[in-house]
């Protein structure tokens, strides 16, 4: 059984150097154990998904340019998330603001090739069947 994700959940990108926190604005008017509950549309870079420290994705243009300047030595650059598509798959049995609720098994893909996953959902009791 999956857990509902809410504001303050800990996220990690496969190409990021540090964890980040999910920001959920209270626009959906649904709370989960106190903070606002998330749905799959809470994927907007620098609004919902904050940077992961340094990015080491070779397909990231800033990383590619820095790596080229360093004569081919992989050179991480500051992360700016590029999550254009919603979290998948979400919870098909529960909706928040007419969209699937975000559960802790969902992933969000970055345009540079990273996969953002939920390390800690910020809820401990709210389960989604």
Within the chain, what is the greatest distance between any pair of CA atoms? Answer: 51
Q: Which of 7-11, 16-20, 123-127 has the lowest mean pLDDT?
A: 123-127
Q: Name which of 112, 113, 110, 126 is nearest 5 in CA terms.
A: 126
Q: How far apart are CA 2 and CA 90, in angstroms?
A: 10
User: pTM of the full predicted structure?
Assistant: 0.90
| Domain 1-52+81-121 in this protein, CATH class | mainly beta
The answer to whether the CB of 28 falls within 8 A of the CB of 40 is: no
Instruction: Give the mean pLDDT of 43-50.
Output: 97
Domain residue ranges in the chain: 1-52+81-121
Instruction: Give the mean pLDDT of 60-64.
Output: 97
């Amino acid at each position: 059984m999956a857990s509902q994700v809410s504001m303050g959940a800990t996220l990690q990108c496969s190409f990021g150097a540090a964890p980040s926190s999910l920001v959920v604005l209270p626009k959906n008017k649904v709370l989960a154990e106190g903070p606002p509950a998330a749905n799959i549309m809470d994927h907007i870079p620098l609004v919902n998904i904050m940077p992961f420290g340094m990015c080491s994705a070779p397909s990231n243009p800033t990383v590619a340019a820095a790596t080229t300047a360093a004569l081919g030595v992989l050179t991480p650059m500051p992360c700016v998330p590029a999550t254009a598509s919603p979290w998948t798959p979400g919870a098909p049995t529960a909706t928040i603001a007419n969209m699937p609720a975000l559960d802790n098994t969902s992933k969000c893909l970055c345009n540079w090739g990273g996969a953002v996953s939920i390390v800690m959902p910020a809820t401990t009791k709210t389960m989604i069947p």
